[in-house]
Amino acid sequence: MENSELLKSGEFLVREVKPEDIFIPEEYDEEQKMIAQTCKDFLEAEVYPHMEQLEKGDRELMKTLLKKSGELGLMGISVSEEYGGFGQSFVTQMLAAETIGAAYSFSVAFMAHCGIGTLPIMYFGNEDQRQRYVTKLAMGELLGAYCLTEPGAGSDANSGKSNAVPSEDNSHYILNGQKMWITNAGFADTQTVFAKIENDRVLSAFIVDTASEGVVVGPDEHKMGIKGSSTAQIYYNDVKVPSENLLGKRGEGFRIALSILHMGRIKLGANVIGAAKKAITDSVQYANERKQFGTQIANFGAIKHKLAEMVIRTFAAESATYRVSRDIDVLLDKYTSEGCEKGRASIDAIAHYAVEAAVLKVYGSEMLDFVIDEAVQIHGGMGYSSEMEVERGYRDSRINRIFEGTNEINRILVVDTAMKRAMKGQYGLFEEAEKLAEDISAIEIYRPLENDDSYTEQIGYVKNMKKIALLLLNRASDTFGRKLVHEQEILNNISDIIMEIYIAESLALRIKKIETIKGDAGLYRDILDVYVYDIVQKIRKSAMDAANSMDGDDNTDLLDVISKLSETAGVNVKEARRRIADKLIEDNMYKF
């Protein structure tokens, strides 16, 4: 993909993308496959045999396993070579994150260390800080934590009360405060801590050594899930932080926090795919073994429906995840070729795709919740027993809708960020919306022709859905103006539409590219047909809800065009899902 063709964040709503311009998992090279296999082998050999002990909150065991992964080089995949890492592409980083995502609470501890525990220093630190900390974090010699949330500051991170005061000789800061929900708190050696310097309005960031006098780590929290990960409060009582441990500039902490959250969201989008694939494999293997009424339950249509839908949603999420991952790689290359320092270039490229990061976080976490819930159901009574891994997966999944900013916050971010980027002139969102709204009765509506193939038909429906999103954005902006920010129910409706559009388009582009590579997309066409057929109906409901909620206007014209834009040809979803399920059942594991 040429830099000039690079899609800006949110621009997918108004621009057509070609299948050849995206990356798909079918294009992994041998090195990427080898890295993923190394991660899988490590989980099989070192992590899964100890899961029950980890679940009991064994901090020392978790610390030992993390350090072993560091010795194998798994912690350095995202870190530049000059600091002891492997400097892999963002696509490769996401593949590793996906693979590790199958490891329950170990995944939480590992990703917290490699992501929010290491990368703030990698991306925002100076050369001295990187040499002192990143080189050791990349090898697992030091373990990291990220300390942002406070008892009174969750989603509103900048309202935190932790405070740092410079010493009289400016050699250090005196840090006081309290942090909560800190992953890896029980064994982290180093922490990225956010606090306001004196009376500053915004946060600054500091690198704090846990061994420093005045740092007090509380006992581990008792949690619903991810019990193997250490989560605790940390207290700072007149802690002396050397001045050279100020991370970035004074007052830059809020920017650092937001940038790192974008990174955390997008990598969580990869994590949940690994967890979902494991749940699907566990489910089909159980369904192939469990007999009722004289036959394996995998033979029942109701079970096939569940298995197929689990595959469809996972495959769709995966398609979007690696599409944007490649976009980030391309933008990163552009920034570095223009002379930007690689650490800042990396985080700026990730932060640029804030809309897509929020999409992946929300869609992925809710996809996994669906998949693991169905996995428990397929297991029946055994699914509720702690003897089965799906029970652990069910409990562990729930936190993902809260991690990295709640899904409620991220839904608002999808719409808000897309609109703000457009207002800055990055792409013509409002111009395209106004063109459609000028003569709503003359809008061109795609309807399938007799000779249209599956891809042409489904991408045509996606284009119709984009028009619905643009019309709603235009009408909502005209109706509420600046007060739109307070209409969260309507924003949620529009956000759900935008998310489904991005996922569906990514899925369609992937399957068309598979067809180009292999000559035939096979039953992947079934995945596309069923997915688009289903989401058009979901989008229609969200759009009708939004339009009917805009009081003060006659929205008959809008309701009418929504109804027309959301018409689709029928799909034999029963047979399509059975074909998908039959492949899964035959393979006895997720191999899509």
> 205: exposed, middle or buried (C-beta count within 10 Å: 0-12, 13-18, 19+)?
buried
16 is catalytic: no
Q: Which residues pair with 207 in a beta bridge?
A: 192
B/e letters for 281-314, b = 16+ CB within 10 Å, e = fewer, are bbbbebbbebeeeeeebbeeeebbbbbbbbbbbb
Q: Is 144:105 a contact under the CB 8 Å cutoff?
A: no
DSSP string of 166-203, one letter each residue: E-TTSSEEEEEEEEEEEETTTT-SEEEEEEEETT-SS-
Side-chain half-sphere CA neighbours of 358 within 13 A? 27
Residue 17 and residue 7: Cα distance in Å, rounded?
8
* Rounded to 5°, angle at Cα 502 from 496 and 504: 95
Q: Is 473 helix (H, G, I), strand (E, B) or coil?
A: helix
Name the token pair of 114. Answer: 């490699």
Can you say whether residue 73 is alpha, beta or left, with left for phi > 0 and alpha for psi between -120 and 50 degrees? left
CB within 8 A of 214, min separation 6: which ones? Answer: 175, 236, 237, 238, 239, 240
Q: Phi and psi (nearest 5°) for 439?
A: -140, 85
Residue 374 and residue 364: Cα distance in Å, rounded?
15
Of 367, 387, 183, the closest CA to residue 270 belongs to 367
For 557, the enclosing helix (H) or strand (E) is: helix 556-565
Name the token pair of 281. Answer: 């494999």
Alpha helices in 208-293 (DSSP H): 253-289
Tell me the Cα Rg of the chain: 24
Please state, as a whole number, how many other Cβ atoms lie within 10 Å of the Cβ of residue 458.
Answer: 27
Residue 152 and residue 388: Cα distance in Å, rounded?
38
Catalytic residue among 98, 389, 404, 500: 404
Q: Is 332:346 a contact under the CB 8 Å cutoff?
A: yes
Residue 191 and residue 5: Cα distance in Å, rounded?
39
Residue 321 and residue 95: Cα distance in Å, rounded?
10
Name the token pair of 67. Answer: 């350090």
Q: Is 293 helix (H, G, I), strand (E, B) or coil?
A: coil
Q: Is 148 helix (H, G, I), strand (E, B) or coil?
A: coil
Residue 6 and residue 327: Cα distance in Å, rounded?
7
> Strands 231-242, 295-296: parallel, antiparallel or unpaired by DSSP?
unpaired
Instruction: Report, as residue numbers or ranges, the catalytic residues.
Output: 404
